[in-house]
């Protein structure tokens, strides 16, 4: 079925907000993961990793966002001094972990393109950019070493582009062109935006619309995307949170409602 | 035994224009800012700066000290980008070498180990290989035949790092949770300088922190400078957190030429002791302003 539009933000009687669908979609990125380090940038990904850890991915290893692994599952914005730590994870060990492959990551993307290249380096020509962003950071190494997904809280033709300006995170076509050492551990698992969920499960690894969040139409998604998405004949809706998941999100993981500041209800 | 204690001016006197200088820390954390400020006051120029970049890179760019930046990112952590570095890049004022941050680590490690390169998967397929045409790959000589990036050694003429405690002989103690790559910056450099919050006698180290906090050995250092508050406004835990209010003022001032001249005059045209006094005064003024605003909104605000 094609999802009908039913107003922005929430899906009618359930009262589930868009941000909550995004958090659940991010949690799904970690389904099936065993004992790997979950790294998650942005509010919905941070909630998703914690939600997965509390429900269907109990062996996930969470970080404190600084230099340690945490034993518990803290709420967003919790006082770091109160966290129960289980291991030391300074940056040098983060690289060891990245290169060992025992990590699953959701990064942000200023731009993402049809074959999964991501850009956080610069807008325009790299040599003299129109806008200098943060830099490639660890994106090149992450993407060729372990599963990587992306979170784009503001889906638009400016963020979903035909070709990113600077390939920071490596997509499928670029990895294939670089050869077997680049493809050996490469996986771009998902892209989650405020409008829907995307993957690369197509013959040529072109980005596919996997689901639309309830309240979003397929047309809204394709119009906000700067390239031809693969759109299957029947696009499902992003799944509903279970009552347990909603309870965890609202009362345990994000009692202050930070999720609704990132994606407005 | 050698006494390696120096003053900031003596440290800067050991540097010269055109050098490649590595700066320790990470983003807006435990940066040797007092040493950076001393460079700003010097006549040094044409530097290549190698850094997990934060406001060190921005300030040096703003002062026209930089010919080239080698980086994986430049960030203020709580603020995503440094305004001066942005301008330097967007106006083409500096040459750049942008690396994956793991490649950067391997480049320092290779230099420390005196090998020409170290192999990694990181970088393959990305534009790091395109925008740095000097980068090469290497084919494994073993039966796997894998083709990997050969990260070149990032050799440094000098390195500057900031630690929590040090002794006069040049051993350094990092009390925060992450030593970052400071030992490798020192290992990769010809001339190695440590600034520290406080000198302690060697026999005091054990009461300051566990053995693994003593991660900068005197094998890695040539000179050490005591400079309390020397990482300000970046974080230097557990001695002090990042001065977020000051960092915001730094960013705001950078966006306006008049405000930047005023900022420069007040904080950068003065020596380190005067800088620390000015920071204290700015903190007091800010607190007074906040109190006044609260009072005004409480009394004069609408019901």
User: What's B157-180 look like in SS3?
Assistant: EEEEEEEEEECCCCCEECCCCCCC
Cβ–Cβ contact A169 with B under 8 A? yes
Q: What is the pLDDT along chain B (303 residues), one digit of tens a residue?
A: 799 999 999 999 999 999 999 999 999 999 999 999 999 999 999 999 999 999 999 999 999 999 999 999 999 999 999 999 999 999 999 999 999 999 999 999 999 999 999 999 999 999 999 999 999 999 999 999 999 999 999 999 999 999 999 999 999 999 999 999 999 999 999 999 999 999 999 999 999 999 999 999 999 999 999 999 999 999 999 999 999 999 999 999 999 999 999 999 999 999 999 999 999 999 999 999 999 998 888 754 444
Considering only CB atoms, which chain B residues are within 8 Å of A127? 92, 131
Q: How many Å lie between the alpha carbon of B61 and the closest alpha carbon of chain A?
A: 14
Burial of B43 from C-beta contacts in 10 A (0-12 / 13-18 / 19+): exposed
Show which of residues 132-151 on chain A sit within 8 Å of chain B, judged by CB atoms: 132-141, 143-145
Q: Which candidate, B89, B59, B67, places its Cα nearest to that of B18?
A: B67
pLDDT score, position B10: 98
- Residue A2 confidence (pLDDT) above 70: no
Phi then psi dihedrals of residue B152, to 5 deg = -70, 150
Cβ–Cβ under 8 Å, residues B210 and B179: no
pLDDT score, position B74: 98
Entry pTM: 0.95
Considering only CB atoms, which chain A residues are within 8 Å of B181? 91-92
Q: How many Å lie between the alpha carbon of A223 and the closest alpha carbon of chain B?
A: 28
Cβ–Cβ contact B89 with A under 8 A? yes
3-state SS, residue B102: helix
Is B92–A122 a contact, with Cβ atoms under 8 angstroms apart? no
Domain residues of chain B, as ranges?
Answer: 8-102+154-238, 117-152, 245-300
Owner of token pair 């002090």: B240
The architecture that CATH gives domain A12-32+103-254 is: 3-Layer(aba) Sandwich (3.40)
Superfamily assignment of B8-102+154-238 in CATH?
Glutaconate Coenzyme A-transferase (3.40.1080.10)
Show which of residues 7-26 on chain B sit within 8 Å of chain A, judged by CB atoms: 26
Q: How many Å lie between the alpha carbon of B220 and the closest alpha carbon of chain A?
A: 18
- Residue A7 confidence (pLDDT) above 70: no
Within 8 A by CB and 6+ apart from B211, the residues are none
C-alpha to C-alpha distance for B136 and B140, rounded to whole angstroms: 13
Cβ–Cβ contact A131 with B under 8 A? yes
What is the tens place of the pLDDT at every residue in A117-168?
A: 999 999 999 999 999 999 999 999 999 999 999 999 999 999 999 999 999 9
Cβ–Cβ contact A29 with B under 8 A? no
- Residue A212 confidence (pLDDT) above 60: yes
What is the tens place of the pLDDT at every residue in A10-69?
A: 444 479 999 999 999 999 999 999 999 999 999 999 999 999 999 999 999 999 989 999
Cβ–Cβ contact B119 with A under 8 A? no
The pLDDT-based confidence of A3 (bands split at 50, 70, 90) is very low
Domain residues of chain A, as ranges?
Answer: 12-32+103-254
- Residue A6 confidence (pLDDT) above 50: no
How many residues make up chain A in this entry?
265
Task: Outline where B50-170 has alpha helix (H).
Answer: 55-62, 83-90, 101-113, 128-131
What is the tens place of the pLDDT at every residue in A177-211?
A: 999 999 999 999 999 999 999 999 999 999 999 99
Considering only CB atoms, which chain A residues are within 8 Å of B120? 99, 141
Show which of residues 182-241 on chain B sit within 8 Å of chain A, judged by CB atoms: none
Cβ–Cβ contact A181 with B under 8 A? yes
Q: How many Å lie between the alpha carbon of B51 and the closest alpha carbon of chain A?
A: 12
- Distances, alpha carbon B197 to alpha carbons A7, B120, B124, B216, B229, in Å: 57, 36, 40, 14, 6
Show which of residues 194-253 on chain A sit within 8 Å of chain B, judged by CB atoms: none
Is B123–A98 a contact, with Cβ atoms under 8 angstroms apart? no
ipTM of the complex: 0.94
Q: Which candidate, A251, A254, A245, places its Cα nearest to that of A53?
A: A245
pLDDT score, position A9: 45
- Distances, alpha carbon B275 to alpha carbons B55, B237, B258, B292, in Å: 16, 20, 19, 25
Considering only CB atoms, which chain B residues are within 8 Å of A174? 125-126
Within 8 A by CB and 6+ apart from A118, the residues are A107, A109, A111, A112, A139, A143, A150, A164, A167, A168, A169, A171
Considering only CB atoms, which chain A residues are within 8 Å of B124? 140, 144, 170, 175, 178-179, 181-182
Considering only CB atoms, which chain A residues are within 8 Å of B146? 180-181
Cβ–Cβ contact B133 with A under 8 A? no
Is B100–A167 a contact, with Cβ atoms under 8 angstroms apart? no
Q: A143 to chain B: nearest residue by CA? A: B122
Average pLDDT of every residue of chain A: 94
């Amino acid at each position: 079925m094609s999802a009908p539009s039913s107003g922005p933000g929430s899906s009618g009687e359930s009262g589930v907000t868009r941000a909550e669908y995004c958090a659940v979609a991010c949690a799904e990125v970690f389904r099936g993961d065993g004992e790997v380090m979950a790294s998650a940038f942005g509010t919905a990904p941070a909630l998703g990793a914690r939600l997965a850890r509390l429900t269907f991915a109990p062996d996930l290893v969470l970080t404190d966002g600084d230099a340690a692994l945490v034993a518990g599952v803290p709420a967003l914005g919790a006082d770091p001094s109160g966290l129960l730590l289980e291991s030391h994870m300074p940056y040098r060990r983060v690289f060891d972990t990245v290169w060992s492959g025992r990590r699953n990551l959701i990064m942000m993307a200023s731009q993402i393109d049809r074959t999964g290249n991501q850009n956080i380096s610069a807008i325009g020509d790299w040599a003299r950019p129109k806008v200098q962003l943060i830099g490639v950071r660890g994106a090149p190494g992450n993407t060729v070493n372990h599963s990587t997904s992306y979170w784009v809280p503001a889906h638009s033709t400016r963020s979903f582009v035909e070709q990113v300006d600077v390939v920071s995170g490596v997509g499928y076509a670029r990895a294939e062109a670089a050869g077997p050492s680049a493809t050996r551990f490469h996986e771009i698992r998902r892209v989650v935006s405020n409008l829907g969920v995307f993957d690369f499960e197509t013959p040529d690894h072109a980005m596919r619309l996997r689901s639309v969040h309830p309240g979003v139409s397929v047309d809204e998604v394709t119009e906000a995307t700067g390239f031809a998405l693969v759109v299957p004949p029947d696009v499902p809706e992003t799944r509903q949170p279970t009552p347990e998941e909603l309870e965890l999100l609202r009362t345990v993981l994000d009692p202050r409602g930070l999720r609704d500041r990132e994606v407005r209800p | 035994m050698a006494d390696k204690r120096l003053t900031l001016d003596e440290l800067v006197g050991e540097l010269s224009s055109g050098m490649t200088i590595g700066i320790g820390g990470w983003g807006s954390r435990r940066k040797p800012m007092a040493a950076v400020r001393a460079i700003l006051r010097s006549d040094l120029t044409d530097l290549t700066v190698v850094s997990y970049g934060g406001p060190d890179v921005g300030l040096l760019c703003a002062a026209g000290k930089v010919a080239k930046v080698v980086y994986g990112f430049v960030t203020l952590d709580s603020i995503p980008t440094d305004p001066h570095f942005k301008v330097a890049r967007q106006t083409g004022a500096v040459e750049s070498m942008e690396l994956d941050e793991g490649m950067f680590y391997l480049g320092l490690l290779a230099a420390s180990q005196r090998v020409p390169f170290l192999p990694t998967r990181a970088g393959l397929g990305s534009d790091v290989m395109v925008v740095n045409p000097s980068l090469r790959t290497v084919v494994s000589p073993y039966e796997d035949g894998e083709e990997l990036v050969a990260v070149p050694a990032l050799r440094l003429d000098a390195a500057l790092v900031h630690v929590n405690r040090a002794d006069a002989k040049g051993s350094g103690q990092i009390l925060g949770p992450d030593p970052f790559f400071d030992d490798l910056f020192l290992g990769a450099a010809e001339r190695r300088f440590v600034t520290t919050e406080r000198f302690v006698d060697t026999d005091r180290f054990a009461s300051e922190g566990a053995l693994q906090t003593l991660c900068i050995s005197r094998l890695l250092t040539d000179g050490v400078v005591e400079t309390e508050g020397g990482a300000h406004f970046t974080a230097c835990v557990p001695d002090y957190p990042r001065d977020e209010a000051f960092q915001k003022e730094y960013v705001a001032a950078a966006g306006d030429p008049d405000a930047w001249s005023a900022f420069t005059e007040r904080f950068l045209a003065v020596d380190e002791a005067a800088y620390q006094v000015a920071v204290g005064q700015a903190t007091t003024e800010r607190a007074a302003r906040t109190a006044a605003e609260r009072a005004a909104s409480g009394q004069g605000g609408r019901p």
